Amino acid sequence: MRAPEQLQAIRDLAEGGRSLAIEKEAPTAKDVLAFAKEHDARMVDLKFTDMPGTWQHMSMSLRSLSEDDFEDGLGFDGSSIRGFQEIAESDMLLMMDPSTAKIDPFYSEKTLSLICNIIDPITREAYSRDPRYVAQKAEKHLASTGVADTAYFGPEAEFYIFDHVAFDQQNYMAFYEVDAEEAYWNVGKGFGEGGNLGHKPRSQEGYFPAPPMDTLGDLRAMMIIVLEALGIATEFHHHEVGGPGQAEIDLRFAPLLQMADTLMTHKYVVKNTARAAGKTATFIPKPIFEENGSGMHVHQSLWKGGETLMFNKDGYALLSDLALSYAAGLIEHGRSLMAFCAPTTNSYRRLVPGYEAPVNLVHSQRNRSACVRIPMYLSSPKAKRVEFRPPDPLANPYLAFSAMLMAGLDGVERGLKPGDPVDTDLYELSPEELAKIVNVPGSLAEAMDALEDDHAFLLKGDVFTQDLLDEWISYKRAEAKQVDLRPHPWEFPLYYDG
């Protein structure tokens, strides 16, 4: 289908009056197959997450899927998946989670979508490098501590919407380019068949402009319509600070595993809805030089028996001692957390002073330049939470959320204190004052060094395994080396005439 036709088909499906997500509590395989029949589905799409955090999938005719498959599993080659098995032990099984059943709105044929876990076909044990399994273990470990029974997460995953992207890398050349109808660099030239109509956000001034300057409101609204049809609760959507098409859609908080599944679905919906509209969306943290990067501030809170553990009317920023210790755990392990929360070389193009990027490991109420911020919009106990600001949306949510929870729990169990809050603008502190503050790593290699030095807290409860950590560090060091080995385009104007 052409882009406008596909977008209309997506709209028709999302607004068809029936939920595209299974709504039965604790559904069985039989319930899933009945749900698929109710929606006249013809195909089934099996999705799972590789180690870096990208959805992989394989599809089959729904007629080939039986109730037994939910118990037996469906085989695939794990050696071809990033961070998974070696070729000598490649056979693995996908185990479908009935609670994740949805109708995928981006296929021409009606398609049932299921998120899967991964198990070993010989031992029938869960696979230690399956990111989703890590999140499941993190939730079980939380309950076993007795500290809390639920950890709520609420990520704000920013992204850019472009009209054009191109990139290439050869041994003799390298380039990338992005363009957007909204981009301020197009204000002096024609653009497309309609010419130039002006009304372009200025650089770093894209926050909250009304139409006609914000040209992406209808597209973001379409993304929300699809998300809600898929059973995902949303909050605000708006243009972000980055002038050339930066956007944000806020998701309603949910328990850790559910939110990790939700964030994967959110990114899938954003990218595919943009594509259907003839545009391209990216969650890369720093796609444009001297423009705000895309972060993923993660709001977190612990609850027990349906009551929040984060509130104290007499505490700093209305936080309980437990909440402050949780924040202290995030700060204590902040450098090693970046290995999962800012897991790409591009992440550290964003994590530099300025551009609202939080590089200093301190806490503060309201202050957006601190890595741990305590939002003060509402004084309601249920709204009290801490916000960890350094992560970006290329993080694997199953691993990043689990790592943050483990760091926070370590702070609670050890009774850590976060030190004095820094409620002044961190970028206005003197060099002497700044020297006392620990920063996040300055590169992906530094983040791996930090993880090697500080990871015992992740191994508690067997949530993370040494095998997974070793593979992650090895994979990411190789990734960083790939970038280090290649000449950078800016090196030519710097050094060519030397």
pLDDT tens digit sequence for 208-238: 889 999 999 999 999 999 999 999 999 999 9
Residue 220: what are its φ and ψ, rounded to 5°?
-65, -40
- According to CATH, where is 3.30.590.10 located in the chain? 150-495
Task: Give dist(CA 152, CA 326) in Å, integer.
Answer: 13
Q: How far is CA 165 from each of CA 40, 178, 258, 320, rounded to the nearest angstrom?
A: 37, 4, 32, 47
User: Is the separation of the CB atoms in 245 and 183 below 8 Å?
Assistant: yes
pLDDT of residue 10: 80
Q: Following DSSP, what letter does each residue of 212-247 receive, concatenated?
A: TT---HHHHHHHHHHHHHTT--EEEEEE-S-TTTEE
pLDDT tens-digit profile of 406-464?
999 999 999 999 999 988 876 677 888 878 889 999 999 999 999 999 999 999 999 99
Copy the structure tokens of residue 239.
């243009």
Q: Following DSSP, what letter does each residue of 446-482 receive, concatenated?
A: HHHHHHHHS-HHHHGGGSS-HHHHHHHHHHHHHHHHH
Residues (pLDDT < 50) of the chain are: 88
pLDDT of residue 354: 59
For the annotated catalytic residues, the residue numbers are 77, 156, 158, 240, 248, 297, 368, 387, 389
User: Is the separation of the CB atoms in 98 and 32 below 8 Å?
Assistant: yes
Contacts of 372 (CB under 8 A, 6+ apart): 327, 330, 331, 361, 362, 363, 364, 386, 387, 388, 389, 418
- According to CATH, where is 3.10.20.70 located in the chain? 3-127
Homologous superfamily (CATH) for 3-127: Glutamine synthetase, N-terminal domain (3.10.20.70)
Copy the structure tokens of residue 449.
């060094």
Q: Does 150-495 carry CATH code 3.30.590.10? A: yes
pLDDT of residue 3: 62
Copy the structure tokens of residue 431.
């060099």
Q: Say how many CA atoms lie within 13 Å of 187 toward its Cβ.
A: 11
Residues in the chain: 498
Task: Give dist(CA 462, CA 403) in Å, integer.
Answer: 12
pTM of the full structure: 0.95
